[in-house]
Amino acid sequence: MMTKELRRRNVKISRNAPSLLGVKPEKQKSSMTKYVITAAAVTVVMLIFAYFRYQMFLRERVKTPLYAPTMLAKDSTLPNKEPGRFWGSYRPHTYFGMRTRSPSSPVMGLMWLNQQTRQMPPPIRHWCDQGDGLPKYGWLKHDGVKFGTQEIVDTDFTLTTDFIKRPGGNHGGDWTARISAQPHQNVPGTIKLVSLMFYVALDGQGLLEPIISKTGNRINSINGYSEELGNFKLSFPKSSSNTTYRHSYLATQASGLDKLKDSLMNGIRVEAWDRSRQTPYYVLGGRQVPRDGVVNFLTYQVTAELPFEMEVTFESGSFVDRPEKLTGEVFDALLQQHSLNFDEKFEDKFQLKSKGFSESQIDFAKAALSNMVGSVGYFYGPSLVQSVHNAEPVRYWNAALYTGVPSRSFFPRGFLWDEGFHNLLISKWDAEISKDILSHWLDLMNTEGWIPREQILGVEARARVPDEFVVQKNENANPPTLILPLQRLIKDMLHSNKESDKKFLSAVFPRLKAWFQWYNTTQVGSKPFTYRWKGRDSTGNRELNPKTLTSGLDDYPRASHPTDDEYHIDLRCWMALASGLIADIAESLGLDGREYKATHQLLTNNGLLDQLHWSDKKQQYSDYGLHTDKVRLERPKPPPNLQPGQRPPQMNMDKIRMVLAEPQKGFVNAFGYVSLFPLLLKIVEPSSPKLMRILSDMRSEKHIWTDYGLRSLGQSTVMYNRYNTEHDPPYWRGAIWINMNYLALSALDYYKSSPGPYKQQAEDLYTELRNNLINNIYKQYQQTGYIWENYNDKTGEGKGCHPFTGWSALVTLIMAEIYE
């Protein structure tokens, strides 16, 4: 074969030979040159083309979806596939709002105003806002699917918003909402006048047509149409009050869903229909667009003396054999039924009665769960993302996200690492909701295996985020906490033969692998099997300790001088957890998971862990890096040769960090949540003497023990409670956070039931810590009306934003002692 090939070539050469040696050498030469030049030119063009193609490929990568089947079919949330969860209170940023799980759903919601106000313009409540200063609000009961009951306490009256859904037809069925308002005190001779305003707004598609009463002020109903809802009718059948009330409405055009309140304010006018009053009334001014103009925002207003209530019914056009209207007594009876079912299911799942909790404590736990489930939102739109290959941020693909939110007032959108904790609770209440949420998140993965950590989808979400936090960078990680609920959900699936379970596992497997590979290649340290949170700023001089936002623990102190050589214990533990789960799934599916198994064994090997992360000197698990504790924030000194009368420019400048001692490579001197990670994720062996050491340090008040839960950073640590810049107060430097305390209890529960010498110690700590947490979170809720973002380690008081019924709602699982 070889020779044949050679011969053929020889023949070719010899055939060409005469002309090469050629008759017309000149011409031959020039055509050769031409050929070479052409070839070179073509090559250059091709190279340039290839280069640009490659550059384009690099730029596109960040916004290219992972090449693997998606978890969810494209239409999986639509009413023909999932009618039960189509409608919902999926607008957690509003006090009360409804929408569907379709991309450009019409939205509906409540605004209200106290007619007694003397403020101009009158304060109108709409989006949850701490500035409104409401004494309390939140869901008391909400099952995530069929109904919800919410109480909203305003300064001198209380609103109750109840809704019930009713299946029927082909478009997700009907629902009715009832809003009632009760004055706090019925002082004879005083009246309380309040306006409730219920609106519907279109998101770019559909039609709205109000049916106005003969008197010309009352909207009796609204006929509407949209792609996914077909024909529908919204009516306002009943608004009862013992005293006169007044109706008005607004029909106008809003420029966007984020501008509804502005549009409404523009349509308000001041009227005096009752001359005895000192202040005028605020009423909506009717139709604001010409007869032939387009109305995309309609609001019904009823103004009445308290107490009163109104109902809103949504009826789907395709629901033809409706038994009776879902209003009045029919509504009452159904609400009571749902409420009883909720109570039964709650006791069945969490068993708080049998654990001896009081009625009031159980109501608190129900509220915590209901707010977690009832704040689940549905968002749609593109993230803004950027990689090193993009000069400017680019749009991610238009994506849907069904997700819990940390806080309705402050963080009403999806956060990657919060969501893992949220679903520890949600999955215990309704595993189907959790699987749906986790699937939405995993489908956000790009071709690199990256998931943007903060999801700001749609104009309403975007309106609440300062510009500097909008763009998500693809170098940045966030703890892969989705592993936590997945582990629990999957536990029951691993040995199941159900088709749906196998399907879920098969879909989740390639996504988890891609996700793992992204961390295992981009977030590694310079030593083998070490991991590093990328994205710390090593060049600035403002921060006392450069933040590690990606770790989720923001300002928790790490190496003072970020370098490529540092490595982080918490990320290593997350990786151990993730590799273990993937290995288990592989085994269950009969696929090859050996590499994951090997990685898991390596990452959980206590000998290796100790070599890399155990500080003998401090007797604790630690990060490693270039570090010094001797740093201080100082105002820059004025220059020495200042002219007389000249103002030193630096005096107006921010303080900067002074480094008072040369940083050294070694273990980072800090004790807090990060040092606990090998315990938190159950990686320390139950027999390890290191476990004893961690347990005693946990109980030490000098470190992290308090009467209200474990504080994030030990009082013995230099950085404890320190500002990170002049303007940046401590966040994870002392405060008590409930997600980490939940993990601690879960770990203690594991160590107290595993054979070993420290069983008893773990058990004692467990009991005490659990009581401390429950007592304090409950007490703060009673006193302030809210569950909080975190708690003060000195006083137990709620801190940060509120309501925060994301991971702080894990208190329900703590009461129920559910850790698996």
Active site residues: 554, 789
Q: Is 133 left (phi over 0), alpha (psi -120 to 50) or beta?
A: left
Interatomic CA distance for residues 540 and 790, integer angstroms: 28
Q: Which is nearer to ligand NAG, 242 or 500 (CB)?
A: 242
Instruction: Identify the residue whose tokens are 């000998």.
Output: 607
Residue 597 beta carbon to ligand NAG: minimum distance, rounded to whole angstroms: 9
Inter-residue contact 299 to 157 (CB < 8 Å): no
Interatomic CA distance for residues 480 and 501, integer angstroms: 22
Residue 307 beta carbon to ligand NAG: minimum distance, rounded to whole angstroms: 4
Q: Which is nearer to ligand NAG, 23 or 187 (CB)?
A: 187
**What are the angstrom distances between the C-alpha of 120 and each of 117, 197, 274, 294?**
8, 18, 19, 30
Residues in contact with 717: Cβ distance below 8 Å, sequence separation at least 6, in sequence order: 557, 669, 670, 671, 672
Residue 166 φ then ψ, to 5°: -135, 120
How many other CB atoms are found less than 10 A from the CB of residue 106? Answer: 27
Indicate the length of the chain as a whole number.
820
Instruction: Identify the residue whose tokens are 């006392």.
Output: 544
Buried b / exposed e along 631-661 (16+ C-beta atoms within 10 A): bebeeeeeeeeeeeeeeeeeeeeebbbeeee
Quick one: how far is CA 554 from the chain centroid?
16
Q: Which is nearer to ligand NAG, 582 or 676 (CB)?
A: 582
SS3 for 242? coil
Q: Which is nearer to ligand NAG, 624 or 705 (CB)?
A: 624
Q: Which is nearer to ligand NAG, 213 or 517 (CB)?
A: 517
Residue 115 beta carbon to ligand NAG: minimum distance, rounded to whole angstroms: 17
Quick one: how far is CA 342 from the chain centroid?
26
Q: Which is nearer to ligand NAG, 218 or 600 (CB)?
A: 600
**Residues in touch with ligand NAG (CB under 6 A):** 240-242, 307-308, 520, 579, 595-596, 599
Residue 27 beta carbon to ligand NAG: minimum distance, rounded to whole angstroms: 60
Residue 521 beta carbon to ligand NAG: minimum distance, rounded to whole angstroms: 7
Interatomic CA distance for residues 133 and 155, integer angstroms: 8
Residue 638 beta carbon to ligand NAG: minimum distance, rounded to whole angstroms: 52
Of 116, 161, 156, 163, give the one whose Cα is nearest residue 134.
Answer: 156
**What are the angstrom distances between the C-alpha of 332 and each of 84, 143, 175, 731?**
21, 17, 13, 45
Residue 297 beta carbon to ligand NAG: minimum distance, rounded to whole angstroms: 30
What does the H/E/C string look like for 595-660?
Answer: HHHHHHHHHHCHHHHHHHHEECCCCEECCEEEECCCEEEECCCCCCCCCCCCCCHHHHCCCEEEEC
Residue 651 beta carbon to ligand NAG: minimum distance, rounded to whole angstroms: 51
Which residues in 647-696 belong to E strands, given as ranges? 656-659, 664-667
How many other CB atoms are found less than 10 A from the CB of residue 513? Answer: 21
Q: Which is nearer to ligand NAG, 421 or 516 (CB)?
A: 516
What does the H/E/C string look like for 560-608?
Answer: CECCCCCECHHHHHHHHHHHHHHHHHHHHHCCCCHHHHHHHHHHHCHHH
Q: Which is nearer to ligand NAG, 212 or 602 (CB)?
A: 602
Inter-residue contact 814 to 745 (CB < 8 Å): yes
Q: Which is nearer to ligand NAG, 595 or 768 (CB)?
A: 595
Instruction: Identify the residue whose tokens are 């984020």.
Output: 258
Instruction: Identify the residue whose tokens are 């109000």.
Output: 210
Residue 682 beta carbon to ligand NAG: minimum distance, rounded to whole angstroms: 20
Residue 516 beta carbon to ligand NAG: minimum distance, rounded to whole angstroms: 6
Interatomic CA distance for residues 482 and 596, integer angstroms: 18
Interatomic CA distance for residues 706 and 737, integer angstroms: 12
What does the H/E/C string look like for 269-322?
Answer: EEECCCCCCCCCEEEEEEECCCCCCCCCEEEEEEEEECCEEEEEEEEECCCCCC
Residue 580 beta carbon to ligand NAG: minimum distance, rounded to whole angstroms: 11
Residue 595 beta carbon to ligand NAG: minimum distance, rounded to whole angstroms: 4
Q: Which is nearer to ligand NAG, 595 or 764 (CB)?
A: 595
Interatomic CA distance for residues 264 and 126, integer angstroms: 11
Of 107, 102, 127, 103, give the one whose Cα is nearest residue 382.
Answer: 103
Interatomic CA distance for residues 260 and 110, integer angstroms: 11
Inter-residue contact 281 to 275 (CB < 8 Å): no
Of 701, 697, 694, give the one whose Cα is nearest residue 678.
Answer: 694
DSSP string, 467-518: GGGTEEETT-----TTHHHHHHHHHTTTT---HHHHHHHHHHHHHHHHHHHH
Interatomic CA distance for residues 159 and 144, integer angstroms: 21
Q: Which is nearer to ligand NAG, 238 or 618 (CB)?
A: 238
Cis previous bond, 121, omega within 30? yes
Q: Which is nearer to ligand NAG, 243 or 360 (CB)?
A: 243
Residue 448 beta carbon to ligand NAG: minimum distance, rounded to whole angstroms: 15
Q: Which is nearer to ligand NAG, 308 or 342 (CB)?
A: 308
